[in-house]
Chain A
Amino acid sequence: MQPDKQNASLRITALVSVGKHPGSGRARRAEQDARAVEMAMTLAPEGLEVLHAGDPQADSLRAYAGMGLKRLRVLQQGTNADAVPALSQYLKQQKPDIILTGVRAESGESSGMTPYLLGEALGLPVVTRIAEIVSIDHGEANLLQALPRGQRRALRVPLPFVASVDMAAAAPRQSAFGPASRADLESQDIGMAVMDEVKAAWSEAPARKRPKRLKVVKAKTAADRFKAATAKSSGDGGKVLRDKPASEMAQAVFDLLLEEGVLR
């Protein structure tokens, strides 16, 4: 086990990508990545590094810097290059304690594979969709994971690890123009660019509207179709309990709730 880490000596790398506004399609800071940066900034303002692999000229990178970053590191790459080999090579040397990413990018393939591929390449555990890093003690982190339906799950993971940040995490601070233009953009050519050749064979088009599934009535006769179209709430009916003491009926309800696992 690692020695105790104060947050002061904690080193966090937040990976950021170029986002895309869902309505206008304009480049912006990606929502989830900005949350990852916010989480890293509150947890370890000193040991924070924000990392991007791609074009250092991209305007939207300045939007991250505008959150008050001193520095932003860019691993220079062409736009069709695969980001993962470059990132994993760099992170292997740096060995940060925590690597934060978004769940899914807003542009490109947006498959959400980056954290898992990095985890596999670096041999680190991967935690999905975290909402908060609660505390770090004895070389382990206590996390809250966002579940569907507003639920949270507590997890404990040894450092170092990779985590993807959910939209349920604290909203990122505003990005301001002044700090954005003052921040250093350190671009470095790491001398490797693995072209993504599989992707070259794909064709991409604006999303088509998906056909909605219709409720198909597979009735053989006109009478059956008529019945299906006019049927009121079908009285296939569940169990009905009546004329019993209230305690017995409440027990039946309670048992069903227990069986469904909604009681805690």
Chain B
Amino acid sequence: MSEDIIRRDPRAEWIARNRLHPLHQTMQASPAETRGPSGLIRRNPHAVGFIGPNGIKRIDRMNASGPATVGGRRAAGAAKEVELPLHRVENPDYYIAVVPDMVGGRLNGHDKDVIGQAHKLIGEIGGNGAVLTIVFGEHREEAFDKAGVDRLLHLQGDEYEGYSPELRVAALAQVEKEYAPRYWLLPDSVAAGFELGCRLAARIGERPATQAWQVGAEQTICRGAGGTSDITRQTPRLLLLAEECADQIDETRHEVLPVELVGTVAGHASIRDCGQVAVDPNAIPLAEAEFILSAGNGVSDWAQFHQAAEALGATEGASRVAVDDGNMPRFRQVGATGTWVTARVYVAVGISGAIQHMQGIGQCDKVIAINTDVGCDMVKRAALSVIGDSSEVLAELIRLAKAHRQEVVENAA
């Protein structure tokens, strides 16, 4: 935060006050928005715009001409990435506990909705409340602060890796003992939240509201009868929330102070996780597949493409051109007239990224493009783009996947 300290320059201030000073005009170019000592944005209406050639003040709202700032304040480039104000909670009176799913080690939209709901409840109850987020095992989330996490309880250890609902619930029961959160909020999702929430409810003897979609401090509306009815009830202590139950946090940063459990977690796991079973990736419906290798007009060697999909264990997809040319079956087509996919990782091989195709991959998290053309839309969308011939890159990928598999087998033996 040291770069935020505003250093005063008395001479510059004096020139800025003195309208008769020859340098006064240049000093006026200081940015219209600055951050005051309290962290609030201060706006100087007099500094906005410039005097046009005919003597009339002009305001350039596109900020196209981008005046060079003098006066040594904030550089214009730095001001572009707005730093959100920090929301501090010191010595919280109560906690609202949130247990996110962390699919793939990151907060997803549903998790953020739930954290948003927690802050909404704090706003309604008032007082000094903090959102306590409980995360199990390794994670790869970097933006807990922007999602609205005030306190983070990160429970690490081998016992929480993989499928370990019994130990996780034992840990949550310990959290209940030590922190006694005012509310427990979990996403009602197939990923993990529903199961964990029900187990916790049975353990601590709370009757949860499930598929809750409108939650206030007093009243909750939740879906019943398999989603065909609305139940209006008093808000219980434990809630399993539907997607989009509340708005996500996007205007503040939060502290993410680490907290810990004092006591030890006493749990016994009778269910043993024997790992995921290999499922034929092409037997999974395209819309559900987690990892898709998709081929377009830029693929010429189709035998190699199928081989690559098999080696990587990916479900196959295709663009319309690949389907129209008869290289792939129609049900593999991704896009507006094909399937809307939800894959977490989507590898586009030789696909230009026509808008009809992009619509179909709108929900994908990580897109990887393999293409010869740097300028195409798919490269703009992709998190990682590789510019090169598809068959060369695929050949290398097949080699790497095979080497990797060999290594895994050797390590297991």
Judge whether B27 is part of the interface by a CB distance below 8 angstroms: no
- In the complex the two chains form, what is the Cα distance from A113 to B202 in whole Å? 8
> Which of chain A's residues 223-264 have a Cβ closer than 8 Å to chain B?
223, 232-235, 237-244, 246-247, 249-254, 256-264
Interface-facing stretch out of B87-95, B124-132, B256-264, B376-384:
B376-384
Give the shortest distance, in Å, between A92 (CB) and chain B (any CB): 16
Given contacts A150-B288, A240-B374, A241-B386, contact A206 B272 (CB under 8 A): no
- In the complex the two chains form, what is the Cα distance from A239 to B369 in whole Å? 10
Interface-facing stretch out of A57-65, A69-77, A141-149, A179-187:
A141-149
Q: Tell me whether B388 and A249 are in contact (CB under 8 A).
A: yes
Task: Find the B residue at minimum CB distance from A208.
Answer: B230
Interface string of B96-125 (1 = CB under 8 A from A): 000000001100000000000000000000
Q: Tell me whether B400 and A222 are in contact (CB under 8 A).
A: no
Q: Say what secondary structure dominates the interface of chain A.
A: mixed
- In the complex the two chains form, what is the Cα distance from A108 to B223 in whole Å? 10
Q: How many residues of A contact B (CB 8 A)?
A: 84
Q: Tell me whether A157 and B270 are in contact (CB under 8 A).
A: yes
Q: Tell me whether A257 and B312 are in contact (CB under 8 A).
A: yes
Q: Tell me whether B208 and A256 are in contact (CB under 8 A).
A: no
Judge whether B333 is part of the interface by a CB distance below 8 angstroms: no
Judge whether B23 is part of the interface by a CB distance below 8 angstroms: no
Judge whether A2 is part of the interface by a CB distance below 8 angstroms: no
Give the shortest distance, in Å, between A21 (CB) and chain B (any CB): 9
Q: Tell me whether B208 and A110 are in contact (CB under 8 A).
A: no
Q: Tell me whether B368 and A241 are in contact (CB under 8 A).
A: no
Q: Say what secondary structure dominates the interface of chain B.
A: mixed
Interface-facing stretch out of B3-11, B279-287, B296-304, B324-332:
B279-287
Q: Tell me whether B368 and A253 are in contact (CB under 8 A).
A: yes
- In the complex the two chains form, what is the Cα distance from A241 to B396 in whole Å? 15
Interface-facing stretch out of A6-14, A35-43, A45-53, A122-130:
A122-130
Give the shortest distance, in Å, between A15 (CB) and chain B (any CB): 16
Q: Tell me whether A157 and B272 are in contact (CB under 8 A).
A: yes
Q: Tell me whether A156 and B272 are in contact (CB under 8 A).
A: yes
Interface-facing stretch out of B65-73, B151-159, B174-182, B192-200:
B192-200
Q: Tell me whether B400 and A251 are in contact (CB under 8 A).
A: yes
Residue of A207, A213, A256 near B223 (CB, 8 A) is A207
Interface string of A145-179 (1 = CB under 8 A from B): 10111111111111001000000000000000000
Q: Which residues of B lie under 8 Å from residue A258 when comparing CB positions? A: 404
Interface string of B33-64 (1 = CB under 8 A from A): 00000000000000000000000000001110
Q: Tell me whether B202 and A119 are in contact (CB under 8 A).
A: yes
Q: Tell me whether A204 and B230 are in contact (CB under 8 A).
A: yes
Give the shortest distance, in Å, between A122 (CB) and chain B (any CB): 11
Residue of B198, B271, B400 near A116 (CB, 8 A) is B198
Q: Tell me whether B163 and A153 are in contact (CB under 8 A).
A: yes
The 7 A-B residue pairs with the shortest CB-CB distance, nearest first, are A250-B396, A150-B284, A242-B387, A238-B383, A154-B274, A262-B291, A116-B202
Taking Cβ atoms with an 8 Å cutoff, the residues of A that contact B are 20, 22, 25, 104-113, 115-117, 119-120, 125-129, 142, 144-145, 147-158, 161, 198, 201-208, 210, 212-213, 218, 221-223, 232-235, 237-244, 246-247, 249-254, 256-264
6 contacts between A and B (CB under 8 A): A107-B226, A113-B202, A155-B274, A201-B233, A240-B379, A263-B404
Question: Apart from A108-B224, A260-B345, A260-B366, what are 10 other A-B pairs with CB-CB below 8 Å?
Answer: A111-B210, A128-B165, A206-B228, A233-B353, A233-B358, A238-B384, A240-B387, A242-B374, A252-B384, A260-B344
